[in-house]
Structure 1
Amino acid sequence: MRDFPTCFGENGVQVADSSSSSSCTSKAAQNLVTCVYHCNSADGSFMISISWFRNLMGQGLSVAIDDSKNQCICKVDIKPWIFARRKGSKGLEVGSSEIGVFWDLSRARFACGPDPTEGFYLAVVLDHELLLLLGDMKKEAYKKIGISTAGGSCNAVFVAKKEHVFGKKLYTTRAQFHGGGRTHDIAIECDAVHAGDPCLSIRIDGKRLVQIRRLKWKFRGNDTVFIDGLPVDVFWDVHSWLFGNAAGDNAAVFMFRADERSSGAFDPAAFESPWLSCPPRPFKEAGFTLILYAHKSE
């Protein structure tokens, strides 16, 4: 749960507790999207992280569950060769509870990322209570997990997304910042290599909302924009683009935080803080956070 789960053990489906750890190279983090959901149940509150990845071996996913104390209680890693079967389930016992993960991606369709856009379902069940249900094949999911449609609704809230994007000057993604709002196109443009005075632009649905000139002096900062009539804090750190990185990582970091109680204050240390790991915010906070790692392609 603490790191991107793209390195696995020998088993096709691996269960890990909070003491598990893995070491992944920067290449392993490519083509990776992690989505975090806040779920309430009769047994308490949970954060569920779904990580979708694609590498040379194929596609896979990981499901990790944290309790209200931000402690990982279990993790299920589905390797590419298991993922290739496109459907399956896994049940495991955690203490006195039983957790089930069900998925069907046999008809899944993908856009540009490793996460499916339609034609699939992914469900997480705790003691016969539906915690999370993703995808548009809900009827098939209810039938598979044996929960009626009337009694199987879940109250999961999509609270964060962490994504790696690649490009030379332009980096794009999509996000829904407010519950019930529409999905917006996000475009970040910067020529930090050839421009004598590099400029950073951030557009939402084609409209430029942020423009930073003299970027070498303002390589780290924040601004507030309005999307769907509500404030969204935008943070950026493009130091590695302009001045290089001793570790060899050329990724800039962008964060979009939709929170009606956000103060807009910028903390540079936040980009290196464990807060950016999953779960990305305390349970008591509301709103949605999008974190982008923008890698410059050669």
Structure 2
Amino acid sequence: MQDSIGIPACFSSALKSSDDHTTVTRSGQSLHMSVYRTKIADQCRLITITWCKNLMLHGLSVSVEGPEGEAQYSCKVELKPWYFWRKQGSKRLTLHGNNKAVDIFWDLKAAKFKGETEPTSEYYVAVVCDQEVVLLIGDLKKEAYRRTGCRPALIDPILVWKKEHMFGKRKFSTRAKFHEKGRCHEISIECKNKSNIGGDSASGVHVEVQPEMEIRFDGHVVIHVKHLQWKFRGNESIHLNKMRVEVYWDVHDWLFSPGLKHALFIFKPVLSSLSMSSSHSLSSSSPPLSSSSTPLSTQTGSSGSLEGFSVTESSEFCLFLYAWKID
């Protein structure tokens, strides 16, 4: 049986373009978008899972790429408190060209969000085609296989990239896994002002305020940028066990543009055979980008490419974090 689907307002226009920052700003919504590549109906396709949250509602959207990548078939779910019956359901999509059926199942009745946009536990979202579960997210995997009555796909889906829009004053936090068999890391970014007291007997005492930025992994500071007004664009490398992660940042608009503006952070894992004594040690960083270089926001396309950066031996996954600073 298929439940009817409510369409959250935040999806009505925001998902027409994943880079429509104006829509995100106007609605004040947090947006978490994950894109997976897998095989559906004998073709390699992308599946996009999007979680949306603002003051009015909480929503989920599942989109399947068309045969040539030009069209998408979507399932959208409202999670408003008074729509309890919609927190579990299914919907069937029919792919044009081969008339293949794709079934989407979800169970969010007991989902734990812990104040976040994306659930942390007690849920599942499953995409089924040809009696195979081609994509399954969430921790209730046994329940998902039992409800769908289908077997796991022979080919595991690959998480290609993840994009998040979030709002905050000084601190922004998220969770990310950079390897399928790796652990989930807690990432936090904090921008703060450091006061320096100077002066002499002639000129008197004056206080100089200088912005700084700290990036932490699992509570440990891995990047500390002093004099952020001069280093508002840059990149450094950190090591997590045997994996190197390139971190890029562009916080120009935080410092120099009036109104609500976003900073962009990119986390790109790079394969490495180095054995690190500490799982959160800071490597010798790459040469910082010039402050006059092209902003990351204009170099990063929706496909997850990093134009202008020479990133080699990188894995396919990339995390894009848009941090909107509220004064």
TM beyond 0.5:
yes
Q: Residue 59 of structure 1 aligns with which residue?
A: 58
Per the alignment, residue 13 of structure 1 pairs with: none
The answer to whether the Cα contact below 8 Å between 2:244 and 2:271 also exists between their aligned partners in 1 is yes
Classify 1:24/1:87 alpha carbon distance in 2 versus 1 (closer, same or farther; 3 Å): same
In the alignment, is the contact (CA less than 8 A) between 1:47 and 1:68 conserved in 2? no
Spell out, residue by residue over 1:81-115, the C-alpha distance to the aligned partner (whole angstroms, 9 max, x if none): 59642111110211122111110111111123121
**Structure 1 residues 235-283: Cα deviation after superposition (integer angstroms, max 9, x where no partner):** 10101110015xx43221111111339xx796745422462x2x4359x
Equivalent in the alignment of 1:12: none
TM-score between the two structures when normalised by the length of structure 1:
0.80
Deviation, 1:57, is 2.9
Question: What's 2:199 paired with?
Answer: none
Residues 133 and 154, structure 1, Cα contact 8 Å, conserved in 2: no
User: What's the counterpart of residue 111 of structure 1?
Assistant: 114
- Structure 2 CA distance for partners of 1:48 and 1:26, relative to 1, 3 Å: same
In structure 2, what is the equivalent of residue 139 of structure 1? 142
**Could you tell me whether the CA contact under 8 Å between 1:36 and 1:161 is conserved in 2?**
yes
State whether structure 2 residue 224 is matched by structure 1 residue 211: yes
- Pair 1:125 & 2:128 matched: yes
TM-score by length of 2: 0.74
In the alignment, structure 1 residue 226 sits paired with structure 2 residue 239: yes
Query: RMSD over aligned Cα, in angstroms?
Result: 3.2
The number of aligned residues is 277
Change (3 A) 1:90 1:69: same
Q: What is aligned with 2:44? A: 45
The Cα shift of 1:159 comes to 2.9
Match among 233, 239, 244 for residue 257 of structure 2? 244
1:297 correspondence with 2:326: yes
55 and 127 in structure 1: CA distance in 2 versus 1, 3 angstrom threshold:
same
Specify the alignment match of 1:280 in structure 2: 304
Superposition map of 1:159-174 within 5 A: 159-174=160-175
Contact 1:32–1:114 (CA under 8 A) maintained in structure 2: yes
C-alpha separation in 2, matches of 1:198 and 1:43: 52
**Structure possessing the higher radius of gyration over alpha carbons:** 2
SS in 2 for 1:287: coil
Residue identity matched to 2:58 = Q
Question: Are the aligned partners of 2:250 and 2:295 in contact in 1 as well (CA < 8 Å)?
Answer: no
For residues 153 and 68 of structure 1, the distance between their equivalents in structure 2, rounded to whole angstroms, comes to: 21
Q: Give the structure, 1 or 2, with the largest relative contact order (CA under 8 Å, sep 6 or more).
A: 1
User: Could you tell me the percent identity over the aligned residues?
Assistant: 35
Q: Does 1:271 align with 2:297?
A: yes
